């Protein structure tokens, strides 16, 4: 137990999502280094295949990252295998504040790919099928290849989605218990309730496994940010006859717009000065504004 006036400083937990190629990784890794909030290093989980090459990370930020790369291991038959759930939970539950003392932040790049692999693993292992049905060869799913072989693939059935979603929710729970700031990077998807459903309106958010998990996953995180690219047409000054040019702006949203849900932890009833932020090529400018705003934590 601790006295309320001696409460520890809160850590940030953030989900950052957007379409492929909008600059999510570059922003997530362009932190204000050497500050009490962000530390001098970050643990970077390169879950997407090839992301350990850090091609989307600015050279000046690469030296600040301790890169964790999940790799398949050879089994007794010399074949490469990896259990994505076990590997992901091993990383999510590791004591990174002790393993990398200089780090104050954990960045998980590839939340969407991790969730996809969880679903595939549940389907391929038949985790949701009873032992009797397995023995009878009647598990109610389409598959090809031989079970246990690398080429085996089973089509997920409805219970597989439920199991995979529970796994992803537990993974997120362990991440948020880290004694570090946590940033999870995902691509975009949306959940559209079926006709006659009482679940509400269409909701856009981070792509995980299936779409029903989107609103459930977002409610557990303090901050959910979206990056989008907006096209703008403007007239060239002094041109005669008038000429126009198109330009693209990268925008970060911290409040809901259209179907796309976003949020930022802030004092009740206060105006959100960061509801829409135009990003500059220097991503650190956003994080500096974010820190100065005093938002993002309880």
Please check whether residue 233 lies inside any domain of the structure. Answer: no
- Domain count within the chain: 1
Residue 201 lies in a domain: yes
Residue 247: inside a domain, yes or no? no
Predicted confidence (pLDDT) per residue in 240-273, tens digit: 777 777 778 999 999 999 999 999 998 877 789 9
Q: By residue range, what is the domain housing residue 38?
A: 9-132+148-225
When comparing pLDDT for 272 and 199, which is higher?
Answer: 272
Residue at 204 is within a domain: yes
Q: CATH code at 57?
A: 3.40.50
Is 251 within a domain?
Answer: no
Reported for 157-163, long-range contacts at CB under 8 A and 24+ positions apart, including other chains, are 157/123, 157/128, 159/128, 160/119, 160/122, 160/123, 160/127, 160/128, 161/119, 161/209, 161/210, 161/212, 162/128, 163/122, 163/127, 163/128
> In this predicted structure, what is the pLDDT of residue 44?
98
Answer whether residue 220 is part of any domain.
Answer: yes
Instruction: Give the pLDDT confidence score for residue 32 in this predicted structure.
Output: 96
Above pLDDT 90, what percent of the chain? 60
In-domain check, residue 127? yes
Residue-wise pLDDT tens digits, 120-162: 999 888 887 766 666 666 666 788 887 777 788 888 888 899 9
74-83, 110-119, 257-266: least confident range: 74-83
Mean pLDDT, the chain, integer? 88
Residue 269 lies in a domain: no
């Amino acid at each position: 137990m601790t006295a309320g006036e001696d409460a520890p400083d809160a850590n940030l937990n953030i989900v950052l999502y957007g379409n492929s190629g909008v600059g999510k990784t570059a922003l997530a890794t362009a932190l204000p280094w050497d500050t009490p909030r962000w530390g001098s290093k970050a643990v970077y989980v390169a879950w997407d295949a090839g992301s350990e090459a850090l091609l989307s990370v600015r050279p000046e930020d690469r030296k600040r990252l301790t890169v964790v790369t999940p790799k398949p291991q050879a089994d007794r038959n010399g074949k490469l295998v990896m259990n994505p759930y076990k590997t992901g939970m091993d990383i999510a539950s590791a004591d990174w504040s002790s393993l990398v003392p200089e780090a104050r932040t954990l960045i998980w790049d590839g939340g969407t790919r991790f969730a996809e692999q969880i679903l595939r693993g549940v389907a391929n292992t038949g985790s949701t099928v009873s032992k009797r049905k397995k023995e009878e060869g009647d598990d109610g799913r389409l598959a090809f290849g031989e079970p246990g072989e690398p080429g085996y693939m089973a089509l997920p059935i409805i219970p597989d989605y439920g199991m995979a979603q529970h796994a992803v929710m537990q993974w997120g729970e362990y991440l948020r218990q880290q004694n570090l700031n946590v940033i999870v990077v995902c691509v975009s998807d949306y959940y559209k309730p079926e006709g006659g459903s009482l679940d509400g309106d269409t909701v856009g958010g981070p792509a995980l496994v299936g779409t029903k998990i989107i609103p459930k996953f977002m409610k557990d995180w303090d901050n959910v940010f979206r990056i989008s690219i907006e096209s703008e047409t403007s007239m060239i000054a002094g041109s005669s006859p008038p000429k126009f040019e198109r330009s693209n702006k990268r925008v970060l949203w911290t409040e809901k717009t259209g179907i796309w849900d976003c949020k930022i932890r802030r004092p009740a009833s206060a105006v959100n000065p960061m509801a829409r932020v135009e990003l500059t090529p220097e991503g650190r400018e956003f994080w500096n504004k974010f820190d100065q705003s005093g938002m993002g934590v309880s």
